[in-house]
């Protein structure tokens, strides 16, 4: 029945990856403004704010990875804290026990996490939607215990965790180590965002999105679903691992209690807040994760958790498709009016 | 791209200007956070998350400094107590500590709570030479002045507590089969280590060890395993929520072992009440502070003072909770340090005075227990007394026991 297939294919192509495209000029202006702001900020704020901003970027990288998996490929994960932890511990162990240079540990952490993600993606193939969410959640819940376990403790330091030394800025750059780590994270984040965008816009990206939208049609079009799903899982874990690796040196300490399921949930919250299926939305998600709990605490110390929950509900209510969806809608309205 | 480059250059120039203007140090004798009218003190505690029961301590300390301020402050300076929530998560502790030191510019961080959380900031605090004073954890590693000059504990450390239990068991229950419930972290292993050290070649008395994680929703299965091991003496090395669960579960299963609950979970209101008084009757522990529910202290002047303080400054506080007595006493210890420091409120002198407490009596400590420190002794409280819960309140018995220092 070639005609039906063609019709299906056609309808598939008519579903755009992003519901309403922001006009190019607008998005470019916003991007440049954002970049100028990102580059300027570390010179005008205190070091600890730079630290917070670096954490924002780190979370954004992890959320970006989660977004590729959930937003574009339609696979749920509540277990990305595990890959984040593997990345962090890889860097910490390589630096503190084997004396590696920090910069070398990033690609190693990325590769190890890719491998773990790919392998975890294999059994995940058999699990759909909420069952996959549950399986990955089990991974998140198991991670702290595994890190604490006695057989691993010669490397992980067990419950004590591992101190990590912050690298100094190289080449005698006139910045302090907080600023340097910020720019390093920013640079890595930008590269990863560009890679993510190019991947999504490519032929493989269309296959990844097709699997999300209509797996049967995708298979009919000759997409190797198993391969793509596991690869996306691997790439997603790789992003989370790089984020974890950077967090190890920025926080200067890794311990099992830093990577509980609370982190996995936080990344998922960041994904939804930023906008499922939006690459710049990841930064909004990161900002939310770092600053909203502090804001909630300022409102009420005793009820910080409840205030955070209330803010979360309000935000979801106000922008059901995340920050990216809200921006897209506003820009589309403005553009429509000015015409 | 050109725009971005121009912006970058502009930003670099701007940043350098700011950096230079900020580098010139103010060579005052006082440390940061100190003016003629104010002393800024930082605090980090878990107001949210798995250990939020401890949030009471921070609130009590805040209330105590309100009292100090209302009575004229310390040498004319008011205490500005800045307390942040870290949810018991080490990366958040790092963020909050940096905020306190670099943005709020406090003189010192006081009573930050938790072992992993304090470990996360210990190197930072010592590199910055900012006192990390009287941390709220009994790990033995806070008393290493030669390595960490700027970090000091306060409460009796877990190892000596474990040794005190061992001594008590050897003397009173030499044939016991011991089951240990412990939190699988530094704190749990530290206390368990002290217990084993105290038992010496009798370590074989321990027939079962059941670890739990703070992320576990309940510890029912651990209790079932301990019961199945045939133990007749149980030690709960557990934080309040889990200790309450353990005592309740042991009661509900109709098991009737001798039960010792560690000092951090002896709160009547926070642990024994939720566990059920009928289940908690006969439970043993050690103490160093007066139990506010004990009628023996009814006419005690220091208890009356504490009670008046609670009425006026922390009326919502739980009067049956040991945390309010803890917060009150540790705040008094810091007050003493700051009074001793007088008008030389540099970070060096504050640390020197913290290491120079001589027979300081905390009114709400048990009679006979005094605070002593020196530049080589960073363990302020080292004495404890055994006690038994009679179904309504703790009853002290036996002598004040000196738990010898750490390692």
Tell me the pLDDT band of A271, cut-offs 50, 70 and 90: very high
DSSP characters over A156-224: H-GGG-EE-PPPPPGGG-SS-HHHHHHHHHHHHHHHHHHHHHHHHHSHHHHHHHHHHH-HHHHHHTT--
Give dist(CA B379, CA B406) in Å, integer.
8
Q: Which positions in chain A touch B89 (Cβ < 8 Å)?
A: 257-258, 260, 262
Tell me which DSSP letter residue A151 carries. Answer: G
Q: Is the pLDDT of residue A127 over 70?
A: yes
ipTM rounded to 2 decimals: 0.75
Which pLDDT does position B182 carry in this prediction?
Answer: 95
Q: Is the dihedral of CA A109, A110, A114, A115 positive or negative?
A: negative
Yes or no: is domain B30-155+297-376 CATH 3.40.50.2300? Answer: yes
Pairing status of strand B206-212 against strand B132-133:
unpaired
Is A46 in the B-facing interface, judged by CB distances under 8 Å? Answer: yes
N-terminal to C-terminal alpha carbon distance within chain A: 45
Tell me the pLDDT band of A12, cut-offs 50, 70 and 90: very low
Mutate to test the interface with A, among B51, B183, B185 (most CBs of A within 10 A): B185
Is A55 in the B-facing interface, judged by CB distances under 8 Å? Answer: yes
Q: Is the pLDDT of residue B1 over 60?
A: no
Tell me the pLDDT band of B52, cut-offs 50, 70 and 90: confident
pLDDT tens digits along B323-364: 899 999 999 999 999 999 999 999 999 999 999 999 999 999
CB contact under 8 A, B14 and A44: yes
DSSP characters over B294-331: -GGGTT-HHHHHHHHHHHHH-TTS-TT-HHHHHHHHHH
Average pLDDT, chain B: 88
Beta bridge partners of B287: B385
Q: What is the dihedral of CA A94, A96, A100, A103, to 10 degrees?
A: 80
Q: Is the pLDDT of residue A331 over 80?
A: no
Q: How many residues does chain B have?
A: 407
Give mean pLDDT, residues A116-128.
Answer: 86
Tell me the pLDDT band of A21, cut-offs 50, 70 and 90: low
**Start-end ranges of CATH 3.40.50.2300 in chain B?**
30-155+297-376, 158-287
CB contact under 8 A, B89 and A305: no
Which pLDDT does position B196 carry in this prediction?
Answer: 94
Residue A312: partners with Cβ closer than 8 Å, 6 or more residues away: A269, A273, A292
Beta bridge partners of A163: A253
Residue B122: partners with Cβ closer than 8 Å, 6 or more residues away: B132, B148, B151
Contact B98, A48 (CB under 8 A): yes
What's the domain range around A60?
47-261
CB atoms within 10 A of CB A18: 14
Which pLDDT does position B24 carry in this prediction?
Answer: 41
Is A204 part of a structural domain of the chain?
A: yes
Residue A314: partners with Cβ closer than 8 Å, 6 or more residues away: none
Which pLDDT does position B64 carry in this prediction?
Answer: 96
Lowest-confidence range among A236-250, A267-281, A297-311, B77-91?
A297-311
Give dist(CA A5, CA A27) in Å, integer.
36
Give dist(CA A274, CA A280) in Å, integer.
8
Q: Which positions in chain A touch B16 (Cβ < 8 Å)?
A: 43, 174
Which pLDDT does position B19 carry in this prediction?
Answer: 47
Count of structural domains, chain A: 1
pTM of the predicted structure, to 2 decimals: 0.77
* Residue burial A262-295, b: 16+ Cβ < 10 Å; e: rest: bbbebbbbbbbbbbbbbbbbbbbbbbbbbebbbe
pLDDT tens digits along B194-245: 999 999 999 999 999 999 987 778 899 999 999 999 999 999 999 888 999 9
Which pLDDT does position B177 carry in this prediction?
Answer: 94
Q: Is the pLDDT of residue B12 over 80?
A: no
Q: Is the pLDDT of residue B22 over 70?
A: no
Q: Is the pLDDT of residue A293 over 70?
A: yes
Tell me which DSSP letter residue B377 carries. Answer: B
Q: Is the pLDDT of residue B2 over 60?
A: no
Q: Which positions in chain A touch B59 (Cβ < 8 Å)?
A: 301
Give mean pLDDT, residues A267-287.
Answer: 89
Q: Nearest-CA neighbor of A114 among A239, A227, A1?
A: A239
Phi-psi category of residue A109: left, alpha or beta, with phi > 0 → left and psi -120 to 50 → alpha: alpha
Is A41 part of a structural domain of the chain?
A: no
Give mean pLDDT, residues A207-235.
Answer: 90
DSSP characters over A74-127: ----S-HHHHHHHHHHHHHHHHHTT---HHHHHHHHHHHHHHHHHHHHHHHTT-
CB contact under 8 A, B120 and A255: yes
Give dist(CA B366, CA A6) in Å, integer.
85
Is A33 part of a structural domain of the chain?
A: no
Topology (CATH level 3) of domain B158-287: Rossmann fold (3.40.50)
CB contact under 8 A, B55 and A302: yes
Is A47 in the B-facing interface, judged by CB distances under 8 Å? Answer: yes
Residue B47: partners with Cβ closer than 8 Å, 6 or more residues away: A297, A301, A302, A304, B55, B58, B85, B87
Tell me the pLDDT band of B20, cut-offs 50, 70 and 90: very low
From the list B4, B47, B94, the residue facing A251 with the nearest CB is B94
Which pLDDT does position A93 carry in this prediction?
Answer: 93
Which pLDDT does position B116 carry in this prediction?
Answer: 85
CB atoms within 10 A of CB A175: 18
Q: Is the pLDDT of residue B80 over 80?
A: yes
Which pLDDT does position B372 carry in this prediction?
Answer: 93
Give dist(CA B281, CA B394) in Å, integer.
10
Vertex B103, ends B99 and B109: CA angle to 5°? 55
Residue numbers of A between 73 and 132 with CB closer than 8 Å to B: none
The angle, 0 to 180 degrees and rounded to 10, between the axes of the packed helices A80-96 and A102-124 is 150
Tokens at B185, concatenated: 């972290």
Q: Name which residue leads in pLDDT, B37 or B16.
A: B37
Give mean pLDDT, residues A46-65.
Answer: 93
For chain A, give the percent of residues with pLDDT over 90.
39
Which pLDDT does position B176 carry in this prediction?
Answer: 93
From the list A36, A48, A297, the residue facing B7 with the nearest CB is A36
From the list A255, A302, A305, the residue facing B90 with the nearest CB is A255
Contact B120, B92 (CB under 8 A): no
Is A120 part of a structural domain of the chain?
A: yes
From the list A44, A159, A301, the residue facing B186 with the nearest CB is A159
Q: Name which residue leads in pLDDT, A330 or B103.
A: B103
N-terminal to C-terminal alpha carbon distance within chain B: 60
Q: Name which residue leads in pLDDT, B15 or A136.
A: A136
pLDDT tens digits along B370-387: 999 999 999 999 889 999
For chain A, give the percent of residues with pLDDT over 70.
91
Q: Is the pLDDT of residue B27 over 50?
A: no
Average pLDDT, chain A: 85
Q: Is the pLDDT of residue A58 over 90?
A: yes
Q: What is the dihedral of CA B226, B230, B233, B236, to 10 degrees?
A: 0
Q: Is the pLDDT of residue B258 over 80?
A: yes
CB contact under 8 A, B90 and A43: no
Tell me the pLDDT band of A175, cut-offs 50, 70 and 90: confident
């Amino acid at each position: 029945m070639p005609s039906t297939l063609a019709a299906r294919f056609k309808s598939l192509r008519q579903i755009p990856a992003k519901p309403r495209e922001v006009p190019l000029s607008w998005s470019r202006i916003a991007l440049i403004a954002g970049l100028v702001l990102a580059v300027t900020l570390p010179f005008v704020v205190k070091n600890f704010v730079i630290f917070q901003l670096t954490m924002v970027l780190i979370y954004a990288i992890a959320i970006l990875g989660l977004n590729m998996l959930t937003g574009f490929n339609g696979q749920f994960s509540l277990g990305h804290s595990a890959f984040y932890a593997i990345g962090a511990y890889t860097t910490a162990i390589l630096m503190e026990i084997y004396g590696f240079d920090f910069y070398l540990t990033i690609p190693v952490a990325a590769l190890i996490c890719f491998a773990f993600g790919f392998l975890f993606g294999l059994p995940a193939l058999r699990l759909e939607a909420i069952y996959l969410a549950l399986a990955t959640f089990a991974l998140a819940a198991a991670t702290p215990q595994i890190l604490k376990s006695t057989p691993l403790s010669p490397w992980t330091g067990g419950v004590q965790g591992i101190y990590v030394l912050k690298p100094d800025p190289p080449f005698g750059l006139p910045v302090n180590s907080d600023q340097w780590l910020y720019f390093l994270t920013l640079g890595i984040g930008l590269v990863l965002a560009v890679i993510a965008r190019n991947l999504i816009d490519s032929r493989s990206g269309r296959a990844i999105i097709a699997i999300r939208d209509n797996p049967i049609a995708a298979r009919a079009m000759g997409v190797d679903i198993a391969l793509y799903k596991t690869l996306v899982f691997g790439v997603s874990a790789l992003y989370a691992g790089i984020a974890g690796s950077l967090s190890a040196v920025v926080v200067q300490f890794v311990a099992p209690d830093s990577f509980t399921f609370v982190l996995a949930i936080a990344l998922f919250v960041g994904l939804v807040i930023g906008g499922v299926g939006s690459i710049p939305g990841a930064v909004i998600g990161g900002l939310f994760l770092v600053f909203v709990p502090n804001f909630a605490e300022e409102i009420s110390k005793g009820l910080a958790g409840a205030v955070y929950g209330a803010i979360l509900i309000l935000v979801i209510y106000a922008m059901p498709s995340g920050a990216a969806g809200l921006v897209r809608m506003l820009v589309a309205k403005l553009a429509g009016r000015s015409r | 791209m050109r725009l971005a480059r121009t912006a970058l250059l502009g930003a670099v120039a701007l940043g350098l200007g700011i950096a230079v203007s900020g580098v010139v140090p103010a060579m005052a004798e006082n440390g940061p956070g100190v003016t003629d009218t104010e002393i800024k003190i930082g605090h980090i505690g878990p107001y949210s998350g798995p250990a939020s029961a401890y949030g009471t301590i921070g609130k009590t300390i805040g209330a105590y400094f309100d009292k100090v301020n209302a009575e004229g402050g310390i040498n004319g300076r008011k205490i500005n107590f800045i307390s942040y929530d870290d949810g018991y998560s080490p990366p958040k502790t790092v963020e909050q500590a940096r905020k306190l030191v670099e943005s709020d510019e406090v003189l010192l961080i006081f009573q930050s709570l938790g072992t992993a959380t304090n470990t996360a900031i210990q190197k930072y605090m010592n590199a910055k030479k900012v006192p990390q004073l009287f941390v709220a954890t009994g790990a033995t590693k806070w008393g290493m002045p030669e390595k960490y000059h700027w970090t000091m504990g306060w409460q009796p450390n877990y190892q000596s507590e474990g040794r005190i239990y061992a001594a008590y068991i050897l003397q009173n229950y030499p044939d016991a089969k011991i089951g240990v419930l412990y939190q699988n972290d530094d704190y749990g292993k530290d206390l368990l280590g002290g217990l084993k050290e105290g038992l010496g070649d009798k370590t074989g008395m321990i027939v079962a060890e059941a670890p739990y994680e703070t992320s576990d929703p309940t510890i029912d299965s651990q209790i079932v395993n301990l019961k199945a091991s045939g133990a007749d003496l149980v030690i709960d090395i557990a934080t309040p929520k889990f200790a309450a669960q353990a005592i309740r579960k042991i009661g509900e299963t109709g098991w009737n072992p001798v039960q010792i609950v560690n000092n951090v979970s002896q709160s009547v209101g926070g642990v024994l009440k939720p566990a059920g008084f009928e289940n908690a009757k006969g439970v043993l522990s050690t103490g160093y502070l007066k139990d506010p529910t004990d009628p023996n202290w009814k006419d005690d002047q220091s208890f009356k003072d504490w009670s008046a303080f609670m009425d006026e400054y922390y009326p919502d506080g739980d009067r049956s909770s040991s945390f309010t007595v803890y917060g009150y006493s540790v705040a008094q210890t810091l007050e003493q340090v700051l009074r001793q420091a007088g008008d030389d409120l540099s970070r060096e002198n504050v640390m020197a005075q913290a290491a120079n407490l001589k027979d300081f009596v905390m009114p709400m400590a048990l009679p006979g227990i005094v605070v002593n420190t020196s530049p080589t002794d960073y363990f302020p409280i080292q004495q404890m007394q055994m006690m038994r819960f009679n179904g309504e309140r703790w009853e002290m018995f036996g002598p004040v026991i000196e738990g010898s220092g750490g390692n």
